[in-house]
Amino acid sequence: MGQFATYSFNTTVSQFAILALSLGTSIITARCLGPEGKGELTLLLLIPLFATTFGRLGLGHATNYYASRTSPTRLIVNCLILSLILSIGVTAVCVPTIYLLRETFFKTINVRLLMTISFITPFYILNYHFICIIQGLYKINLMNVLFVVQSGVNLALLIALLIVKDYGLNGAVIAAISALLISVLVRAGFLLKEIETSEIRVDGDVIRGLLSFGLKSHVGNILKDITYRGDILLISYFLNPATVGLYIVAMHVAEVIWKIPESVGSVLLPRVSQMEMEEARRFTPIVCKLVVLPVLITCILLFLFGKILITFAFGHAFLPSATVLLILLPGIFFFAVWKIIANALIAQGHPSKYSVTSGVSLVTMLLFDIILIPRYGIQGAALASTLSYTLATFTIIFIYTRLTDSLITEMFLPVRADFFYYKDFFKSLGGKLFGITSGR
């Protein structure tokens, strides 16, 4: 557990560095663009997000699963082949689809910006797959550094284009695209170093394996990502871009909490995929219990100080976001637990079970969004998200405990045997902290 603790610590530190940079990005765009401009930027960046969701075919999870089952060269080469094919296909569908939907969800946005961001979609897909390969090869520190670099480049460009030059929405889009392209080039350069020339070839077995496993979690990925951001499209449809801007600020602040399980989960997935089933069954509840306490503390802090944080950082124009944040917090807490268990299910070879819980979350969210948004606005959207996250979490706990023959209490109540793991974890963590403070 020593390496797991070290990588979890490094990833958590990196995630909070990224969080600080991302909050800086969000604050700059909010203050420079206002609620309406912030909402329009959010809607524009949803295009590559959803295009990537539909087009990646679950290859990210498949890459993590197969990384320990084939050579790095074969994994990189064959994943890249699939990624290029998918990128072309997705773009061919994305561009005309966005053009046709421009008057439904993107009424106030310039068509030129819509088409520009649509044509950049292939680079989002490549970037995603490069990240997953690096994670699957268990180069966690490299993955973390590159995430921080991408966020830092984006922030620097925003300062130059929004604050110094005042280019508005166009400048924000240019900054996002430029940071993406730089990240793709840097990640590609690192992966090229992992390739052995003698092993380069198209491997049908690897491709079939990636597609077979990936497709099992693909539906779950689609459902999960639509659950995360599908309500934004419905807010845009029923309301306007300004309300989208208010809602997304609340979401960005609330999602601070998810940095904790996401940090641990990004290390958990490749680690558990290498374990025997019984070891994985014991390990996952221990990690879950380790994550719940800091998540709960962060929720309480945001409940107490969220309004002050939003008005101070984003300005009084975003004061309505504070109410949305309070409504979101219970769901955000429960979904943090979902994230840990979902990673464990995928790593243990059960991506279809993960898809079921994503489906439960999406159906619940859409149903309540359609009922609540027209009547209660963005507060209704927040309540719909909380209800869907909570139901999905209870569903995945039920599935996991049945699948692994575990008790619910094992997931949340520490037992004597856990403390041997915790001792090892905190010993490794303490060593890491001591190394930092002593300058090693």
Residue 124 is predicted with a pLDDT of 93
Low-confidence residues of the chain, pLDDT below 70? Answer: 1-12, 263-282, 414-440
Q: Counting beta carbons within 10 angstroms of the beta carbon of residue 436, is it exposed (0 to 12), middle (13 to 18) or buried (19 or more)?
A: exposed
CB 106 within 8 A of CB 98: yes
Closest CA relative to residue 254, chosen from 340, 337, 324: 324
Residue 439 is predicted with a pLDDT of 40
- C-alpha pair distances (Å), 116 with each of 93, 96, 107, 109, 176: 14, 12, 16, 12, 12
Residue 372 is predicted with a pLDDT of 97
Identify the DSSP state of 275.
S
Domain boundaries, the chain: 2-432
Q: E strand or H helix at 39, and its extent?
A: helix 2-55
pTM for the model stands at 0.81
Express each pLDDT in 99-138 by its tens digit: 999 999 998 999 999 999 999 999 999 998 898 888 888 7
Express each pLDDT in 209-234 by its tens digit: 888 888 877 877 788 788 878 899 99
Rounded Cα distance between 73 and 71, Å, is: 5
Rounded Cα distance between 240 and 34, Å, is: 13
Residues sharing a CB contact under 8 Å with residue 105, sequence separation 6 or more, in sequence order: 43, 233, 236, 237
CB 133 within 8 A of CB 126: no
Q: Indicate the angle between helix axes 111-119 and 2-55, nearest 10 degrees.
A: 120
